[in-house]
Amino acid sequence: MQLIVATRNRDKLKEIRTLLKALPLKVKSLDSFKNVPDVIENGRTLESNAKKKAVQTSRFLKTLVVADDSGLEIKALGGKPGVYSARFSGKNATYDSNNEKVLRLLKNISAGKRKAAFRCVMAIADKGRIIAVAEGRCSGRIGFKPLGREGFGYDPLFIPDGYKKTFAQIGMKRKNSISHRSKALKKARVIIKRYILTY
């Protein structure tokens, strides 16, 4: 059976494939299909965006789809960038430009006030119907400069609780054992396994 990840982000696909490798699934991204319409992520919450992507994509492809929306919530910034994490620095945002904006906004914020959390909401849908929603969270803090070369997004800035290094420094294997996405996917994996066994 195949599972479609509603993304064109290769970094995210690689991470999800690793976390789902124990299941008898052929995991594909939207890049494996032609003419899949883009879903406008205009929801006000991570959950609404994840559900919208899962429902619309599974309805179009008529198959099982998992979609996620993830965000970095920084306490000193009132929870921003949150749902706007991927495009925090503007329409043509890049990983680097987003990280630069975060550091600029936190320029005068002391170490003790740089608390943050990554959140991930995953929605699972089949043929346009939501099956379940799972959420994961990883708390930590924002560093003072980008460190590390692994991972993607805000990984070079985010230092998870209990660590002195960023996600980008500790490596993907370690990150995948504690990250927000891995926590959400572990919950989703149980649901997907149960679903495909009774399909």
Out of 38, 68, 69, 161, the active site residue is 69
Average model confidence (pLDDT) across the chain:
93
Is the CA virtual torsion 17, 23, 26, 30 positive or negative? negative
DSSP result, 62-81 = TSEEEEEEEEEEEGGGTT-B
Domain count, the chain: 1
pLDDT tens-digit map of 60-75: 999 999 999 999 999 9
In this prediction, residues 12-23 reach a mean pLDDT of 84
Residue 22 pLDDT exceeds 90: no
Residue 119 has a pLDDT of 97
Q: Give the domain range for residue 61.
A: 2-197
CATH code of the domain covering residue 124: 3.90.950.10
Residue 196 pLDDT exceeds 90: no
Residue 198 pLDDT exceeds 80: no
Question: Do the strands 2-5 and 64-74 form a parallel or antiparallel pair, or are they unpaired?
Answer: parallel
In this prediction, residue 199 has a pLDDT band, given cuts at 50, 70 and 90, of low
pLDDT tens-digit map of 101-138: 999 999 999 999 999 999 999 999 999 999 999 999 99
Closest CA to 126 of 170, 66, 38: 66
Q: Is 68 in the active site?
A: no
Residue 172 has a pLDDT of 86
